[in-house]
Chain A
Amino acid sequence: MAASKLWASQAASMLRMRMSATKARSSPSFGFPSTFYRGFASVIKDLKYADSHEWVKVDGPLAAVGITDHAQDHLGDVVFVDLPDVGTTLSKGGTFGAVESVKATSDVYSPVSGEVVEVNTELNGSPGLVNASPYEDGWIVKVRMSNPTEVDSLMSAEQYTSFCEKEDASH
């Protein structure tokens, strides 16, 4: 267990170096919260998670949203991300776009309600960012939350980890 944590933190620090080398345009700095690895997919500690496999990073009144490592791993190579328009109103649990892989289309659901203030236009030219960096460069939208307390009903990293384990085991 200790050995795998060591590997995880070494991998996380390698990831951190790669992230800073790529210019993260138009995104607030995330810092780099601690990561722990569940089997093959990583789960970031300070984010919140929906059971439809989106993550939320809260930054004041704004929430950044993307899909988790678990989701991108199951989806395969992402070839297109359908982004909503800036200004779109989202409701918690409603779809706001889609992520396309070679074989399939997956709707993305918003874990929070609010107004889209920014979309990650990098994904138009580089949809693969969702696979390479699902929690950082692969972010999809930023939402100005209309009801910040909605975040409290989302899962923590630990809860999401065991949720994924249960889901994978039951298949």
Chain B
Amino acid sequence: MWMGLWQVGRVVTRGVSQVEKKGRHQSIARRFYSDESSLKKTALYDFHVQNGGKMVPFAGWSMPLQYKDSIMDSTVNCRTNGSLFDVSHMCGLSLKGKDCIPFLEKLVVADVAGLPPSTGTLTVFTNEKGGAIDDSIVTKVNDKHIYIVVNAGCRDKDLAHIESHMKIFKAHGGDVNWHIHDERSLLALQGPLSQSTLQKLTKEDLSKVYFSDFRMIDINGVPCFLTRTGYTGEDGFEISVPSEHAVDLAKAILEKSEEKVRLTGLGPRDSLRLEAGLCLYGNDMDQDTTPVEAGIAWTIGKRRKAEGGFLGAEVILKQLSEGPPRRRVGMISTGPPPRTHSEIVDSSGKTIGEVTSGGFSPCLKKNISMGYVSPGSHKNGTGLKVLIRGKPYDATVTKMPFVPAKYYKSS
């Protein structure tokens, strides 16, 4: 066998999960040599390496897969204490102008107009067929400013999409412009110690900043964008900081937590989001998957369901009324952990779907996975089988999140 960290990094990378079947390692290693010289680095690259980060290619960036602790330990520590992630590879942008809200509403399913100022939400950028171009957090800073974060792997595609629509919108007299925040870095602080740790670095009363709230405040003496959100199911924050202050902020957070919050890499990040039942774009959602199929129809604002007005609305609204042709489910299974593309069969042996993400849950100590199945097989408790290397293993449809969410909500 040979499973170097580089191959493990590729497994984590969206959509490339066939590598484990490829056999000999030499051909895989050769592919990596040519990638590595052109990989982008975040402002924290040297900091990661100094702290024992094992760097792997991810979406064109050199990112830490893990540090000195194992993926299992790191995942458990996030939920026990906390984790600090460098997610600067993701792309932050601001849309500005008096028409930025109606402009964005053409491209996403969210009720952006209905968002209270200084709050955000998860949404999906759709294409004409109702499929997902990307998932994203959009935040209404105020009526003339929307702050958006999109996936690193979709950056070029998303920006081209937004730009082409912006040209048409402006040609019709619409007032919108954008700024891409390449001058900023993004840190994610997640876990039960997030608030107490961050509170030591800011005067803002964080106990009044609830899940999905947004603030522009000084943290560690530097103006930052703060959103109470994350990708782990834990309470936490994403902090956008000018890149020249990113390392200092990371150091300050770790220090103020008395080293209980640990630098955490993409390996544990993927385990955490899977335990939280959150989609990974590229695996659990793609251009051919609608938000209804993906089980995130809640992201479609009520007014948007009534009015449409976003790309692919006809397809999506039809699925809402008639039911989608397939549904995302969570599963707990026996045997080896299911991996992407493992077939799902029903009790009679008929193929009814496939796994899109799977692994061993460090917190639950069980195999967890997500996949898509035909309608009728999607109800919680349904007994299915997953085929792994030709052998069937028992699986049960399970409600997600697998690990209970701990979002900091006001009620």
Q: Chain A interface (Cβ within 8 Å of chain B)?
A: 52-54, 67, 71, 74-77, 79-80, 82, 95, 98-109, 170-171
Contact = CB atoms under 8 A, between A and B. Distances in A.
Contacts of B360: 79-80, 100-102
Contacts of B5: 74
B3 A101 contact: yes
User: Dominant SS at the A interface?
Assistant: strand
Given A77-B70, A80-B335, A102 B267 contact: yes
A52 B5 CA distance: 15
A102 B72 contact: yes
B4 interface: yes
B362 interface: yes
A103 B56 CA distance: 14
A67 B3 CA distance: 11
A104 B25 contact: no
Given A74-B3, A103-B271, 9 more contacts: A52-B25, A71-B3, A82-B336, A100-B360, A102-B359, A104-B20, A105-B336, A107-B20, A171-B29
A54 B359 CA distance: 24
Contacts of A75: 1, 3
Given A53-B2, A101-B3, A102-B271, A77 B72 contact: yes
21 contacts: A67-B1, A74-B3, A75-B3, A77-B71, A79-B360, A80-B337, A80-B360, A100-B336, A100-B360, A101-B8, A102-B72, A103-B8, A103-B271, A105-B20, A105-B336, A105-B339, A106-B1, A106-B20, A107-B20, A171-B4, A171-B29
B255 to A, nearest CB: 28
B31 interface: no
Given A102-B360, A103-B12, A54 B20 contact: no
> How many of chain B's residues touch chain A, expressed as a range?
20 to 34
A118 B190 CA distance: 46
Contacts of A106: 1-3, 20
A103 B335 contact: no
Please provide the 6 A-B residue pairs with the shortest distance between their CB atoms, ordered closest to farther: A106-B3, A79-B360, A106-B1, A105-B20, A80-B336, A104-B11
Contact of B8 (A52, A71, A98, A104): A104
B71 A102 contact: yes
Contact of B1 (A53, A77, A79): A53
Contacts of A82: 336, 389
B23 to A, nearest CB: 7
B88 interface: no
B273 to A, nearest CB: 13
B2 A52 contact: yes
Contacts of A76: 8, 66, 70-72, 267
B24, B25, B270, B336, most chain A CB atoms within 10 A: B336
B362 A102 contact: yes
Contacts of B267: 76, 102-103
A109 B29 contact: no
A75 B66 CA distance: 12
Contacts of A54: 1
A79 B11 CA distance: 16
A109 B337 contact: no
Contact of B336 (A53, A95, A98, A108): A98
A52 B71 contact: no
A98 B389 CA distance: 10
A102 B25 CA distance: 20
Contact of A71 (B2, B71, B336, B359): B2
B271 A71 contact: no
A4 to B, nearest CB: 21
B45 interface: no
Given A52-B25, A74-B4, A103 B270 contact: yes
B40 to A, nearest CB: 19
Given A52-B25, A79-B337, A82-B336, A108 B71 contact: no
Contacts of A67: 1
A71 B2 CA distance: 7
A100 B358 CA distance: 12
A108 B271 CA distance: 24
A54 B21 CA distance: 17
Interface string B1-17: 11111111001100000
B23 A103 contact: no
A99 B2 CA distance: 10
A12 B20 CA distance: 33
Nearest to B75: A102
Contacts of A53: 1-2
A151 B260 CA distance: 49
A92 to B, nearest CB: 14
Contacts of B6: 171
Contacts of A79: 337, 360
A170 B26 CA distance: 12
Contacts of A52: 1-2, 24-25
